[in-house]
Structure 1
C-alpha cells in the first residue's frame, strides 16, 4: 500500500528532515506517527500526499512512485488520498454540504452521485442534520467532522490525518478518534500524526516513532513513549 525505500529529504536551507527511512504500511492498517517536535513527522506525512518530494529514494503508493511522478499527475493521486488537517481548512462561505460536495464537483461527478455520496459521508460523521449549516455555526469538533467527510467523499484508499485533534478539547478528540477508527474499519488505511499521548495509549494501533528524521520505533499496538 505505502512503501518508502531509502527515503531522504533535505530542504534548500540545508536542514535534513528525513534521513534514510525504510517503511511499509499495509492496506487497511491504522498507524500513529509520533515523535518530538522537529523530528520529521510533518515531512514524513507531507511526502505521502506529495506536498513534499523526497530528495532521494522511492515512495510507492498503490504501485505509483511519488518520487518520479509528474506534476500533472498529482491531482489524480490526491483523489485516492484524503487529508485532514489540524485547522480544518473549510471554505467559510460554503455550507457543510457544499464544502463536502466541492471535492466531487471539481472532478465533475454527476449531481445525483454527488448528492448521494455527500449525504452518505455526512451520515458516517454524524452531521446529516447540519448539511445546510455554515462553518461559523459549528463547534470545532463539528468542523473537523466536516473536514473528515470532505477527505473521504472520494472513497480514498488512504486517509492522512495531521494532528486532527490538536485544536480540540478531550471529549471532542475522542469523538473524532471513534470516527477515524470507524473509517479504518470500513477498509481505509489511516496514517495519523499526533502528540496526543492519551489517545495513542488507549486506542492501541501500530506506532511509528520518528526521531532525527529516522525511524526510532515501529511497534504493533505500541505506546506513545514521550512526555508532552
Structure 2
C-alpha cells in the first residue's frame, strides 16, 4: 500500500528532517505517527501526498513511485487520497454542502452524483442537518467534521490526518476519533500524526514514533510514550 525505502529529506537551509526512513503500511491499517515537536513527523506526512518531495529514496503508494510523478499529475494522485489538517482549511464563503461538493466538482462528477454522495458523507460525520450552514456558524469540532467529509467524499483509499484534534477540546476530539475509526472500519487506510497521548494510549493502534528524523519505534499496538 504505502512504502518508503531509505527516504531522506534535507531542506535548502540544511535542516535534515527525515533521515533514512524505511516503512511499509498495509491497506486498511490505522497508524499513529508520534514524536517530539520538530522530530520530522510533518515532513513524513507531507511526503505521502507530495507536498514535500524526498531528497533521495523512494516513496510508493499502490505501486506508484511518488518521486517520478510529474508536477501536473500530482492532482490526479491526490484524488485517491484524503487529507485533514489541524486548521480545517474550509472555504469561508461556501456552505458545508458546497465545501464538501467542491472536491467532487473539480473531478467533474455529475450534479446528481454530487448531491447523493455529499449527503451520504455528511450523514457519516453527523452533519446532514447543517448542510446549508457557513463555516463560521459551526463549532470547531463541526468544522473538523466538515473537513473529514470533504476528505472522504471521493472514496479515497488513504486518509492522512495531520493533528486533526490539535485545536479541539477532549470531548470533541473523541467524537472525531470515533468518526475516523468508523471510516477505517470501512477499509480506508488512515495515517494520523498526533500529540494526543490519551487517544493513542486508549485506542492502541499501530504507532510509528519519529525522533531526529528516524523511526525510533514501530509497534503494532503501541503507546504514545512521551510526556504530554
Report the equivalent of 1:78: 78
Deviations 1:169-201 (A, max 9, x none): 000000000000000000000000000000000
Which secondary structure state, in structure 2, belongs to the residue aligned with residue 18 of structure 1?
strand
Cα offset for 1:19?
0.3
Aligned pair 1:227/2:221, yes or no?
no
- Aligned equivalents of 2:28 and 2:91: distance in 1? 30
Cα offset for 1:79?
0.4
Report the equivalent of 1:17: 17
Question: Structure 1 unaligned runs (5+)?
Answer: none
Report the equivalent of 2:146: 146
Deviations 1:24-53 (A, max 9, x none): 000000000000000000000000000000
Aligned pair 1:30/2:30, yes or no?
yes
The alignment yields a C-alpha RMSD, in angstroms, of: 0.4
Report the equivalent of 1:51: 51
Report the equivalent of 2:179: 179
TM norm structure 1 = 1.00
Cα offset for 1:141?
0.2
- Aligned equivalents of 2:221 and 2:128: distance in 1? 33
Report the equivalent of 1:216: 216
Which secondary structure state, in structure 1, belongs to the residue aligned with residue 107 of structure 2?
coil
Aligned pairs, number: 228
Deviations 1:45-82 (A, max 9, x none): 00000000000000000110001111011000110110
- Aligned equivalents of 2:55 and 2:63: distance in 1? 20
- Aligned equivalents of 2:104 and 2:81: distance in 1? 14
- Aligned equivalents of 1:154 and 1:79: distance in 2? 7
TM norm structure 2 = 1.00
Question: Structure 2 unaligned runs (5+)?
Answer: none
- Aligned equivalents of 2:62 and 2:155: distance in 1? 14
- Aligned equivalents of 2:103 and 2:84: distance in 1? 13
Which secondary structure state, in structure 2, belongs to the residue aligned with residue 33 of structure 1?
strand
Report the equivalent of 1:159: 159
